[in-house]
Chains A and B, each alone.
Chain A
Amino acid sequence: MEKFTGTVWVLGDDIDTDIIIPTEYLALKTVQDMKPYAFSPLRPELAGKIQEGDILVAGKNFGCGSSREQAPEVIKALGIRCIIARSYARIFFRNAINNGLLLIENDRVQEVVAEGDQITVTVNQAISHNGKDYPIVSLPENLVGIIKAGGLVKAMRKLNGLD
């Protein structure tokens, strides 16, 4: 089973899409251009500090708000390996899966992790922190299919006989 370890950044409840990437920057040409502005209304310094392989831990209703897919894309572009939240808004959830960004639902780690901690994720099994394991529920079949294909674009390319 796939397993990885990363440094944690902690965010609260209801992290909305305007916090993740404000509308002002949505018409920038590429997601790379948008990176410096991610989370800027809430924590302007955060985007500059996130390193490849880091993990976001947040509260409930992560990604609520608009359908902007730049939200999961910019998080992925910043190098975030996965998000662990109590719950996700549904459009964000679909968009993240379609872009191959791993989302984990868990409502226990929030109480124990602090920013800067290291945690280890064993996909579809558990989150490990300070020697303790927190089990995670696996994703539904049809979504596993999309993730296995490497996102919806790749799934469609396959459908069209391109890959």
Chain B
Amino acid sequence: MSATMIEKIIERNVGKAVKPGDIVTVFADRVMIHDIFIPFVAEKFEEMGFQRLWDPDKVVLIYDHLVPASQVDDTRHFQVGNAFVEKYGLTHVHRSDGICHQLMPEAGYVKPGDVVFGTDSHTTTYGCVGAFSSGIGYTEMASILGTGTMWIRVPETIKVTVTGKMPENVTSKDIILRLIGDLGADGATYKALEFAGDTVEEMSIASRMTMANMAIEAGAKCALFAPDEKTAAYCETELTKEQKALAADRDASYVREITYRAEDLVPVLACPSQVDNIKPVKELKGLPIDQVFIGSCTNGRLEDLMAAAEILKGKKVAPFVKLIVTPASRKVYQEAAENGTLSILAEAGAIITHPGCGLCCGRTGGILTDGERVVATNNRNFLGRMGTSRVEIFLASPRTAAASAVAGQIAEAGF
């Protein structure tokens, strides 16, 4: 046997050996639909002539992009969603509990080895617990809701190994940004990313989520971390023998292998307007900014907020600069409230919003205008993503973002 993780997951799912390039039909263990697309999914589902969901227990509906509603037509999505829930008997519904990609692993909807599809490109996130998860469109989702299956092409795998101890102000965000810069925005198109090495083994699930989340920015179909004890603890389960065996075989074959020494890594930024336009923070130090955003499914978790609070404690956000903090989920918000993190952030002058996609999806929560510059912890800096096409978006880790908020300019934490 010599299989990569993705090959093993697919084999387990379809019950036969596969190799990259094979086209196979997989069975979905779970699917996720969010508020922006539910009206379209519902319409296509009925147009396709389905009468019932293949398995209501496997379907999760999450309102996150439009919470709270900022345009009068937004609430139509909730109404359509609520009617769909009622008609087809959905039970897993979250109406204001946070961002879909945070909730799916956090609420236990995803387990190691699962095959999961979601109507959102950042569905790759669930690879953090060793699930094959990928984003699809609403037509495809409608067809899965009816059949429980989807065709896929078994992807080749790029293996990324990180070893060693990360410098203090380097986070998993800096690793994934560096990787995207090295691979290019299409460097992993149609492929799976597999992460390995003692650095990622040391990482929390939250940090792994950040990396799996952004794999799509290199075009990847999915990103995988082998399930381990941390995964088991996060999923509140014991790993089965099968799940333990999901780690790639030693002699598995990869289309490409990339290795980083953690000690060599530095805090970086993705500069406007491509996620693969990576530069060290040092090079851009001193560039004045107007706003900082800490949040999103990439970096809105407790450890991210705590990292920011550590830097902001006893300090104030620079005058005329806004710091917007959007916890990734209700649970994250509550934990951050309980352990004093939110107090520190609010005292520093942060604007703390309800958990949701907020600014990252560009509909509300801190939209910018011509000539403004923002440092943000989310996943995309595309032209016009957070306002007009003359807004400059720099993507960074929560540490870099917090240090920049205090300085009022791009700054490196610890300097």
A residues lining the B interface (CB < 8 Å): 14, 16-19, 22-24, 26-29, 40-42, 60-61, 64-69, 72, 87-91, 94-95, 98-99, 140, 142, 151-153, 155-157, 159-162
Instruction: Indicate whether A153 sits within 8 Å of B382 (C-beta atoms), given known contacts A87-B189, A95-B137.
Output: no
CA A136 – CA B272 in complex, angstroms? 34
Q: List 4 other contacts, CB 8 Å, given A23-B361, A99-B139.
A: A17-B121, A64-B186, A153-B142, A156-B50
Asked if B27 CB lies within 8 Å of chain A CBs, one says no
Chain A CB count within 10 A is highest, among B50, B121, B137, B382, for B137
**What distance in Å separates the Cβ of B96 from its nearest Cβ neighbour in chain A?**
17
**B77 contact set on A, CB distance < 8 A:** 27
**What distance in Å separates the Cβ of B157 from its nearest Cβ neighbour in chain A?**
15
- Which chain B residues in 124-181 approach chain A with CB under 8 Å? 134-140, 142-143, 146-147, 151, 153
Q: Which of B41-49, B229-237, B258-266, B288-296 contacts A (4 or more CB under 8 A)?
A: B41-49
Asked if B383 CB lies within 8 Å of chain A CBs, one says yes
Q: Which of B66-74, B81-89, B244-252 contacts A (4 or more CB under 8 A)?
A: B66-74
A-B contact pairs, 5 of them (CB 8 A): A60-B186, A66-B121, A91-B134, A94-B137, A160-B50
* Contact with B73, one of A19, A28, A159 (Cβ below 8 angstroms): A28
* Contact with B121, one of A26, A65, A151, A153 (Cβ below 8 angstroms): A65
| A153 & B48 in contact (Cβ 8 Å cutoff) | yes
* Contact with A65, one of B48, B138, B221, B380 (Cβ below 8 angstroms): B380
Shortest Cβ distance from A62 into B: residue: B186
**What distance in Å separates the Cβ of B156 from its nearest Cβ neighbour in chain A?**
13
| A94 & B136 in contact (Cβ 8 Å cutoff) | yes
**A162 contact set on B, CB distance < 8 A:** 49
Instruction: Indicate whether A67 sits within 8 Å of B219 (C-beta atoms), given known contacts A14-B185, A90-B189, A151-B139.
Output: no
CA A153 – CA B137 in complex, angstroms? 12
CA A160 – CA B54 in complex, angstroms? 13
**B121 contact set on A, CB distance < 8 A:** 17, 65-67, 91
| B137 & A91 in contact (Cβ 8 Å cutoff) | yes
The proximity string for B residues 340-382 relative to A, scoring 1 for CB distances below 8 Å and 0 otherwise, is 0000000000000000000001110000000000000000101
The proximity string for B residues 280-302 relative to A, scoring 1 for CB distances below 8 Å and 0 otherwise, is 00000000000000000000000
Asked if B56 CB lies within 8 Å of chain A CBs, one says no
**B185 contact set on A, CB distance < 8 A:** 14, 61, 64
CA A14 – CA B189 in complex, angstroms? 12
Asked if B23 CB lies within 8 Å of chain A CBs, one says yes
Asked if B120 CB lies within 8 Å of chain A CBs, one says yes
**B380 contact set on A, CB distance < 8 A:** 16, 18, 65
| B139 & A153 in contact (Cβ 8 Å cutoff) | yes
* Contact with B139, one of A17, A69, A160 (Cβ below 8 angstroms): A69
The 3 closest A-B pairs by CB, nearest first: A41-B384, A69-B137, A160-B49
Shortest Cβ distance from A99 into B: residue: B139
**What distance in Å separates the Cβ of A83 from its nearest Cβ neighbour in chain B?**
15
**What distance in Å separates the Cβ of A155 from its nearest Cβ neighbour in chain B?**
8
Shortest Cβ distance from A43 into B: residue: B389
**What distance in Å separates the Cβ of A36 from its nearest Cβ neighbour in chain B?**
15
**A153 contact set on B, CB distance < 8 A:** 44, 47-48, 139, 142
**A18 contact set on B, CB distance < 8 A:** 362, 380, 382-385
* Contact with B362, one of A23, A42, A155, A157 (Cβ below 8 angstroms): A23
Instruction: Indicate whether A24 sits within 8 Å of B48 (C-beta atoms), given known contacts A18-B380, A89-B186.
Output: no
**What distance in Å separates the Cβ of A85 from its nearest Cβ neighbour in chain B?**
11
**A14 contact set on B, CB distance < 8 A:** 185-186, 274
* Contact with A19, one of B48, B217, B382 (Cβ below 8 angstroms): B382
CA A55 – CA B139 in complex, angstroms? 24
**What distance in Å separates the Cβ of B91 from its nearest Cβ neighbour in chain A?**
24
| B361 & A61 in contact (Cβ 8 Å cutoff) | no
Chain A CB count within 10 A is highest, among B135, B190, B221, for B135
**B73 contact set on A, CB distance < 8 A:** 27-29
